[in-house]
Amino acid sequence: MTVIVGEMLHAELGAVLQHINLGVLLLDEQCRVSYWNDFMAVNSGKDSDEVLGQSLFEVFPELPRLWLQKKIDGVFALKNLAFTSWQQRPHLFNFCGSRPITGQVERMFQNCTFCPVIDASGTMKYVCLTIADATETAAQQLELERLNELLQAEKDEQSRLIHKLEDAQAQLLQSEKMAAIGQLAAGVAHEINNPVGYVYSNFSSLESYVGDLFSLIDTFQLASQQQDAAFRGQIEQATQALDYEFLRSDMAALVRESRQGLERVKQIVQDLRDFSHIDSGDWQLADLHKGLDSTLNVIWNEIKFKAEVVKHYGELPSVQCLGSQLNQVFMNLIINAAHAIDKQGTIWLETGTQGDWVFVRVRDSGSGIAPEHLSRLFEPFFTTKPVGQGTGLGLSVSYSIIAKHQGRLEVESLPGQGAAFTVWLPVRQAPADPPAPSPAG
């Protein structure tokens, strides 16, 4: 847009420009003010007599001189219109805000237009700078943006709470599942324990009876030596036909091995009971080594073909804990260590103390953990296992259990060099904060 004027403005045009609801001023190449309308006078507090012929930057030293000078020089050079909105430069002139009526906006937001003014001979004489009051529009848009930000923040908070609720629900389901498995294991162990108990007792009696029978046979054999040759021949023939010496040695071995097998079954049953701790749902002093061993015995079938287990147990005091929940943590860590081993490897179980803390470390010789996965290991549902081989809840639940014990779960790993998960637990739990006293009534 280009404005062409004569030497003097027409009176009608001057009257319009003087009272229009826009700030209008004319600037020459030296940025001297050649025209100043009422809008500018009212909002700046400076009449036209004070500013005409003066440099705009002398009258308003707070103006962004470099930016404004460059804008005006550009219009003189290119003879093209230029524009800047309130979003780009909200307050060119430091005018007090008069919109909206609430008075919440302290300064006027302005849209500015820079227009070349060319006379009849084609010479560019001025830049016409117009200032439009955009306060009301800006206030409404800024308020809308603020409300949108609040809405987005509320939406993000709701999303976070929903995600947190889903995590809590998933962990609760996992805990309930493990509790159900524990109850099932305890029930199975109880049911097995009774028949195993009397079979073990019967084998003890059988072992004694077999010994007595062998003693009786020895007595008969010794007595047969004093009988006639025909009787001794019959005894020897029967002994050889039955392969008595083999039967004697093998029967003793069978009874001994069967008794050892029953002792193994009894130990497994006891480990199942210790693992589930069905009788102890409260905080108790527990032997972590016993918990590790019972857990290892329960899951041994899943590990024995993958890894050799090497124990480096230190001296540990009894630890105040929820034993069945810690056994669940040990189970998750040991099974994960076995899964990390491709074909054959080693799992180290290490324990020790440091001040008032104890640690249990499960270390493996597996493939290790990628660095980008380390920060996400304890997120619910995060897993690097193939679909169908992991829920992604084991480490998350373990982390929650350790946090409940006021401990911490640390991990160290390098790709291709295995991983080490260390459970740190206080020997004694800190006492719960006492309830706040009720106000006097």
Tokens of 242: 């039955």
Q: Burial letters for 53-84: b for 16+ Cβ neighbours within 10 Å, e otherwise?
A: eeebeebbeebeeeebeebbeebbeeeeebeb
Beta strands across the sheet bearing 419-426? 307-312, 345-354, 357-364, 419-426, 408-413
List, for residues 224-247, the tens digit of each pLDDT value. Answer: 777 777 777 777 777 777 777 777
- SS3 for 291? helix
**How many of the other CB atoms lie within 10 Å of CB of 358?**
23
Structure tokens at 187: 């029930």
Mean pLDDT of residues grouped by 10 in the chain (441 residues)?
48 75 91 91 89 91 91 89 89 74 72 90 88 89 90 89 74 61 61 68 75 76 72 75 75 77 72 56 84 85 86 93 85 88 90 94 87 68 52 71 89 85 91 51 35
Residue range 130-177, pLDDT digits in tens: 999 988 888 889 889 999 999 999 998 888 888 777 766 766 665 566
| Distance of alpha carbon 212 from alpha carbon 226, whole angstroms | 22
Given this model, what pLDDT does residue 4 score?
46
- Rounded CA separation 40/21 (Å): 10
Q: What residue spans of 277-415 are helical by DSSP H? A: 288-298, 300-303, 323-340, 371-374, 394-404
Give which of 145, 112, 105, 141 is closest to 127, Cα–Cα: 112
Whether 342 and 425 have beta carbons less than 8 Å apart is answered as: no
pLDDT for the residue 185 = 61
Which pLDDT score is estimated for 222?
Answer: 72
What is the residue-averaged pLDDT of the chain? 79
Q: Residue 354: in which H helix or E strand, if any?
A: strand 345-354
- Rounded to the nearest 5°, which phi and psi values hold at 237? -65, -45
334-358 residue pLDDT tens:
988 888 888 889 999 999 999 999 9
DSSP strand E in 28-90: where? 33-36, 82-84
The predicted structure's pLDDT at residue 363:
92
